[in-house]
């Protein structure tokens, strides 16, 4: 009995459910009935949707479930838009945010989360993937550096021969008569060197080829303090690389110590244009030259007796100059008689200066007084000097 009641109940429920389904899809309804229902507003509602005015109607208290989901998605879009605007720092002048949302393709259907978020930055700094070169400081002489240090014991050692010489000959090693080879006032080179070709390059402002140099004519004039020509050289082509002058001009006159001489170069190019260059002034404190009466060692009086050339005592530089002349005599002309000539502003001053030089020479050369003669003479200022004459002829 109960089983039959259950079957009847289920059948009744099935018939009751068939009516809404039949109304929903409009099965068996006529077209006129459907349009009439549309005009009257008596349309059948979907399941779960309340009738107008009932509880849960849109605009009353609740929203349909699908509308509620759409509202959530809209809120999610606005939140994402606001976060994106803050990241970009872009805001409009009136304070409103940009209204563009994320692209539809970035959100899957039925979800409020994006499938992929890309964050980009801006800046000029770039990562460098290259490694810096490996640098290791090393000493290539590390293994032998200790052996390169000098042995101080050898540097401070004294030769037995030197010690013996000092003990047996103290008067020679400790006095002022020993030759001092570092004094180079009087050069061993016989003559004065000039370089016309180098002067030509400086005059034209560039270095010339050999074939260009041959086309230049050249002249070298040596003038004294008064501007007079003391010596002259010239050539029609190819200026020489070096020219040695003995110091004597074509008239047999020698340059004098203390006087200034100026070399003047003149070159003429193939076009006939002249190029002039003044060389370095020549002025010597001591000059050596051979004359018929003997070998002359000429010394500048301004170095011996001051700029006025009138002192009666040797200056500090004058003492060193006399010592250099004495060393030259001891090295090359020992044992030759000596005569001293002093040219000063007056005869009496000349005799005094000559006697002063004689005393210094006697102390340096270790010869008796009668081995050195002296005399004074008067001369103009430009000609004042001391002449030490070695009577080798």
Is residue 307 in a domain?
Answer: yes
Q: Name which of 170-184, 272-286, 330-344 the model is least confident about.
A: 170-184
Q: Identify the band that residue 263 occupies on the pLDDT scale cut at 50, 70 and 90.
A: very high
Compute the average pLDDT of residues 347-359: 92
Q: What does the pLDDT look like over 26-54, one tens digit per residue?
A: 444 455 665 655 555 555 555 545 555 44
Nearest CA among 60, 55, 59, 103 for reference residue 80: 103
- 53 versus 122: the higher-pLDDT residue is 122
Is residue 99 in a domain?
Answer: no
**Whether residue 197 is found in the same domain as residue 271:** yes
* Domain count within the chain: 2
Mean of the per-residue pLDDT values for the chain?
Answer: 76
- 273 versus 131: the higher-pLDDT residue is 273
**Whether residue 240 is found in the same domain as residue 298:** no
| Residue that finishes a domain, picked among 265, 283, 301 | 283
Residues contacting residue 209 through CB under 8 Å, at least 6 positions apart: none
Q: Is the pLDDT of residue 211 over 50?
A: yes
Q: Is the pLDDT of residue 152 over 60?
A: yes
Is residue 306 in a domain?
Answer: yes
Is residue 53 in a domain?
Answer: no
- Flag whether the pTM goes above 0.85: no
Indicate left, alpha or beta for 119 from its phi (over 0: left) and psi (-120 to 50: alpha).
beta
Q: Name which of 106-110, 146-150, 182-186, 188-192 the model is least confident about.
A: 106-110
CATH, residue 212: 2.60.40
Is residue 172 in a domain?
Answer: no
Domain that holds residue 225: 192-283
Is residue 153 in a domain?
Answer: no
CATH, residue 374: 3.30.1330.60
Q: Is the pLDDT of residue 92 over 50?
A: no
Q: Are strands 338-344 and 385-390 parallel, antiparallel or unpaired?
A: antiparallel
| Residue that finishes a domain, picked among 283, 314, 347 | 283
Is residue 107 in a domain?
Answer: no
Q: What does the pLDDT look like over 164-191, one tens digit per residue?
A: 655 665 555 555 556 666 666 676 667 8
348: tokens are 């009496």
| Residue that finishes a domain, picked among 254, 283, 312 | 283
Residues contacting residue 364 through CB under 8 Å, at least 6 positions apart: 176, 177, 322, 323, 326, 327, 330
């Amino acid at each position: 009995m109960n089983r039959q009641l259950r079957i009847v109940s289920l059948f009744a429920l099935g018939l009751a459910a068939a009516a809404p389904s039949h109304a929903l899809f409009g099965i068996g309804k006529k077209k006129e009935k459907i349009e009439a229902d549309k005009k009257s507003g008596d349309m059948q509602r979907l399941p779960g949707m309340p009738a107008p005015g009932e509880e849960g109607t849109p605009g009353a208290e609740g929203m349909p479930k699908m509308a509620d989901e759409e509202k959530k998605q809209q809120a999610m879009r606005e939140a994402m838009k606001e976060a994106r605007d803050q990241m970009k720092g872009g805001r409009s002048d009136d304070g409103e945010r940009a209204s563009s949302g994320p692209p539809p393709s970035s959100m899957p259907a039925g979800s409020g989360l994006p499938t992929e978020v890309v964050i980009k930055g801006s800046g000029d700094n770039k990562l460098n993937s290259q490694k810096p070169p490996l640098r290791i400081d090393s000493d290539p002489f590390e293994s032998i550096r200790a052996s390169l240090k000098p042995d101080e014991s050898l540097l401070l050692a004294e030769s037995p021969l030197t010690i013996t010489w000092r003990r047996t000959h103290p008067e020679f090693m400790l006095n002022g008569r020993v030759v001092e080879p570092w004094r180079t006032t009087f050069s061993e080179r016989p003559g004065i060197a000039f370089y016309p070709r180098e002067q030509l390059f400086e005059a034209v402002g560039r270095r010339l080829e050999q074939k260009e140099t041959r086309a230049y004519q050249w002249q070298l004039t040596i003038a004294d303090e008064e501007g007079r020509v003391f010596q002259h050289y010239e050539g029609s082509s190819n200026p020489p690389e070096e020219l040695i002058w003995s110091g004597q001009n074509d008239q047999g006159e020698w340059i004098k110590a203390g006087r200034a001489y100026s070399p003047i170069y003149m070159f003429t190019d193939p076009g006939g244009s002249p190029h002039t260059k003044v060389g370095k002034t020549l002025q010597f404190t001591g000059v050596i030259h051979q004359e018929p009466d003997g070998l002359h060692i000429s010394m500048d009086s301004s170095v011996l007796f001051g700029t006025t050339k009138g002192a009666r005592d040797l200056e500090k530089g004058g003492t060193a100059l006399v010592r250099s002349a004495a060393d030259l005599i001891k090295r090359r002309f020992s044992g030759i008689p000596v005569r001293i000539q002093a040219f000063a502003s007056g005869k009496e001053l000349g005799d005094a200066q000559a006697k002063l030089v004689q005393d210094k020479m006697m102390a340096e050369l270790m010869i008796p007084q009668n081995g050195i003669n002296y005399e004074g003479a008067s001369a103009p200022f430009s000609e004042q000097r001391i002449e030490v004459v070695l009577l080798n002829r």
